[in-house]
Chains A and B, each alone.
Chain A
Amino acid sequence: MTLLGLLEREPSHGYDLKRDYDALFGRGKQLPFGQVYSTLARLARDGKVTGGDTEPGAGPDRKRYAITDLGASELRTWLTEPIEPEPHLQTVLFAKVVVALMLGRPADVYLDTQRAAHLRRMRQLTELKRSGSLLDALLADHGLFHLEADLRWIDVTSARLGALAEMVRAK
């Protein structure tokens, strides 16, 4: 869908699409050329983009792609629809705490270690945010807020461990 967004801006060659994608969304993980062309071929097959005329020269990059009305309509819908909020239930964190309590192992030690690991990652993301561009900062913030939510859960769980242990062992 991000490729459709780039094509809505202007018709482009595969190479330009890859370059713009990497600059805006790549964040150190580049999009392989093969994936660009396979996605474009699928979008063309579904009538969401047109391949246009092949320009002189060899290779797939000679095609200039443009978004169709169907593609533009799909993009419009995608941009306005909310994604499914993910509640992250049944996480590994939760499972580790419950199993530790069930077996009488020190869940508090695990939670403290996890807490330190989360904060270490938050320090890395904060550094990325401070040294990077506004796009880096936006992505780092997304990570930071999610890690912060985990940390709140860790704090609340730490405070409730005694009662939780009784409940888990009674089951």
Chain B
Amino acid sequence: MTSPDGPARTVVGSRLIEARDVYMSFGATRALAGASLRVGAGEIVAVMGPSGSGKSTLLHCLAGIFTPDKGEVWFDRRRVDQLTDAQRTELRRTAFGFVFQFGQLVPELTVADNIALPLLLNKEKRKAAYAKAAAWLPRLDLDGLGDRRTGELSGGQAQRVALARALIARPRVLFADEPTGSLDTLTGEMVMELLVGLARAEGATVLLVTHDARVAAYADREVLVRDGRVIDHADTSSLSVEVGG
């Protein structure tokens, strides 16, 4: 699948990100015990499971935040677990976006500052970065809030800002860990509507960790993590292109 110009562009439906037989422990606690998961480009996959099942650890391994003790993590034909810290940081900054349950925004900065931040870190010119940030505000029903400090926002508004910040650099993969966990039902639904709609519009693959079945129902499919392993009821054999090896 390698063209003369380098690796082939990943086509929709190919395996974009994969964990293969991943093990990870924290001290004596084993969080992952042979977890495997394949996610195709453009897919929205919900990772479910009880507390302590290892679902967040799996997400962190796939995102290159944790390095597994054993096993392989692939992203677009690259072994993420074999990258240096600097390479993984670069990968997270350029190819991945993140939405968490709490505490991801800088409360002293404005909404526009927070949204523009990933572009500024990617050395984009300030004016262009803020213009792009401003363009995201209406997409998330945040018109007129660009100058507001994020510490003054409601939970739903803050999550929408976090979503804009996660997507503004056009990530290939959006990692969302309990993105609606702190929101009431209707606000959570609004955030999920936007998350799914915008991720599809931007062509981003989504890995969504949630214990909430109603949130998981927004995904294309769900997998269950239990005792550090992944139970996957979907047949992914139709995915055509291997991530690597």
A112-B224, A130-B193, A159-B50 in contact; A144/B231 too (CB < 8 A)? no
Check B217 against A125 for contact (C-beta < 8 Å).
Answer: yes
* A123 contacts the other chain (CB 8 A): yes
CB-defined interface of A138-170 with B at 8 Å, one 1/0 digit per residue? Answer: 000000110110010001000100000000000
Check A123 against B193 for contact (C-beta < 8 Å).
Answer: no
Give the residue name and chain of the B residue nearest to A156 (CB): B50
In the bound complex, residues from chain B placing their C-beta under 8 Å from that of A130 are 193
In the bound complex, residues from chain B placing their C-beta under 8 Å from that of A145 are 214
Query: In the complex, A77 Cα to B163 Cα: how many Å?
Result: 48
* B218 contacts the other chain (CB 8 A): yes
Give the residue name and chain of the B residue nearest to A155 (CB): B50
Query: In the complex, A4 Cα to B62 Cα: how many Å?
Result: 58
Check B224 against A147 for contact (C-beta < 8 Å).
Answer: no
A144-B214, A148-B214 in contact; A116/B219 too (CB < 8 A)? no
In the bound complex, residues from chain B placing their C-beta under 8 Å from that of A12 are none
Query: In the complex, A60 Cα to B214 Cα: how many Å?
Result: 47
> Which one of A112, A113, A119 lies within 8 Å of B216 (CB-CB)?
A119
In the bound complex, residues from chain A placing their C-beta under 8 Å from that of B214 are 122, 126, 144-145, 148
> Which one of B213, B220, B222, B224 lies within 8 Å of A148 (CB-CB)?
B213
In the bound complex, residues from chain A placing their C-beta under 8 Å from that of B193 are 130
In the bound complex, residues from chain B placing their C-beta under 8 Å from that of A144 are 214, 217
Give the residue name and chain of the A residue nearest to B226 (CB): A158
Task: Name 29 interchain pairs, CB-CB below 8 A, sorted by A.
Answer: A112-B224, A112-B231, A113-B233, A116-B222, A116-B233, A118-B213, A119-B213, A119-B216, A119-B222, A122-B213, A122-B214, A122-B216, A123-B217, A123-B218, A123-B220, A125-B217, A126-B214, A126-B217, A126-B218, A130-B193, A144-B214, A144-B217, A145-B214, A147-B213, A148-B213, A148-B214, A151-B213, A155-B50, A159-B50
